[in-house]
């Protein structure tokens, strides 16, 4: 079997409802301009109570499922073990397996990588629903409401209609033009990912804490690396019991009278990196197109 061009790593924990949609959205024919042989998908099951099986996914692209029993509450170990199996020259990582993709995400990312194989290609993240999910759940938003929204737009018939039922995630409040805090899905050279050491496995907080922020900063530290942000494509977070997207988000206390989750995340980041986390200042080069009438307002909110 010939090696794929792109290996996609997806991490999931207890996502029986969400993960099959995510994997479907990453594979042809939903993904446009991509053949099944162009990609491989490696699903890292980070100790789900009900193990993930290959049979859970009815798609055309090859899928490998690995079971990680000792990853803990953080996805970092699972990401790195899956990445070690990658056969493609390029690697993509989706740190949260509850994120569905827009139909041109893979094709546009591969186009962008053709411009410069050293590039780091990032995407904007959205939450399904009328508001950030950590707030919308307090107003009655739940999985049943979300399922109805997806049915109303006829998903997966036209995946770009996901823009109609979503809002910008908190890390992307400035849209595509402003430097983001992180990225929910990226593509880069596999060799460079491995040379960076992958995700720092010392980040052990739920959901990885600020591990994704840390990797994002390290990936962009070399200013000779082109930094491209896709326009008109993105990932869409389905509601689940995520560390930072359940009611209260990172502002919730982990125990009565205890610290807030944000404080634990910040303390761990400071201990591991020797500094407080600061918002990146490096602006991206934009690459993409208008794929839906809501794209200008969502990707460039300050211009409205």
Domains in the chain: boundaries: 6-303
pLDDT the model gives residue 242: 61
Q: Which fold has domain 6-303?
A: Spore Coat Polysaccharide Biosynthesis Protein SpsA; Chain A (3.90.550)
pLDDT the model gives residue 178: 82
Predicted structure pTM score: 0.94
pLDDT the model gives residue 2: 83
Burial 146-182 (b: 16+ CB within 10 A, else e): beebbeebebbeebbbbbebbbbbbbbebbbbbebbb
pLDDT the model gives residue 155: 98
Q: DSSP for the chain?
A: -PPPSEEEEEEESS-TTTHHHHHHHTSTTTSTT--GGGEEEEEEE-S-SS---GGG---SS-EEEEE-SS-TTSSHHHHHHHHHT--SSEEEEES-TTEEE-TTHHHHHHHHHHH-TT-EEEEEEEEESSS-HHHHGGGT--HHHHHHHHHHTTTTS-GGGGGGGEEE-GGGTTTTTSPPS--SSEEEEHHHHHHTTSS-TT--SGGGTTHHHHHHHHHHSSTTS-EEEEEEEEEEEPPS--TTTSTTGGGSBSSTTS-BHHHHHHHHHHHHHSS------PPPEEEE---STTHHHHH-GGG-
Q: Give me 165's structure tokens.
A: 């039922």
Collect the ranges in the chain with pLDDT lower than 70: 1, 242-255, 303-304
In this structure, are residues 186 and 249 in contact, taking their beta carbons and an 8 Å threshold? Answer: no
Q: Give me 51's structure tokens.
A: 């193990």
Burial 229-240 (b: 16+ CB within 10 A, else e): bbbbbbbbbbbb
Q: How far is CA 135 from the centre of its chain?
A: 20
In this structure, are residues 234 and 302 in contact, taking their beta carbons and an 8 Å threshold? Answer: no
pLDDT tens per residue across span 221-267? 999 999 999 999 999 999 987 666 655 556 656 667 777 878 898 99
pLDDT tens per residue across span 188-217? 999 999 999 999 999 999 899 999 999 999
């Amino acid at each position: 079997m010939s090696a794929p061009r792109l290996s996609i790593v997806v991490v999931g924990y207890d996502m029986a409802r969400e993960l099959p949609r995510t994997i479907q959205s990453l594979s042809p024919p939903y993904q446009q301009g991509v053949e099944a042989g162009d990609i491989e998908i490696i699903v890292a099951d980070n100790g789900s109570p009900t193990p993930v099986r290959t049979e859970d996914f009815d798609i055309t692209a090859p899928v490998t499922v690995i079971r990680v029993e000792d990853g803990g509450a953080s996805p970092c170990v699972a990401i790195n073990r899956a990445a070690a199996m990658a056969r493609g020259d390029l690697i993509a990582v989706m740190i949260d397996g509850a994120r569905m993709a827009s139909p041109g995400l893979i094709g546009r990312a591969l186009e962008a990588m053709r411009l410069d194989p050293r590039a780091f290609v990032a995407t904007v993240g959205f939450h399904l629903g009328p508001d950030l999910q950590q707030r919308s759940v307090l107003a009655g938003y739940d999985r049943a409401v979300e399922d109805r929204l997806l049915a109303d737009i006829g998903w997966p018939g036209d995946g770009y209609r996901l823009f109609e039922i979503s809002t910008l995630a908190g890390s992307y409040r400035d849209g595509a033009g402003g430097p983001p805090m992180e990225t929910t899905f990226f593509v880069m050279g596999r060799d460079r990912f491995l040379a960076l050491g992958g995700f720092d496995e010392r980040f052990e907080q739920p959901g990885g804490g600020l591990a994704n922020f840390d990797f994002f900063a390290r990936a962009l530290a070399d200013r000779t690396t082109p930094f491209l942000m896709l326009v008109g494509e993105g990932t869409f977070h389905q509601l689940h019991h995520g560390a930072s997207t359940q009611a209260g988000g990172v502002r919730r206390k982990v125990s009565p009278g205890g610290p807030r989750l944000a404080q634990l995340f910040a303390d761990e980041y400071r201990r591991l990196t020797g500094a407080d986390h600061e918002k990146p200042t490096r602006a991206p080069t934009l690459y993409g197109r208008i794929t839906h009438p809501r794209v200008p307002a969502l990707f460039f909110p300050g211009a409205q």
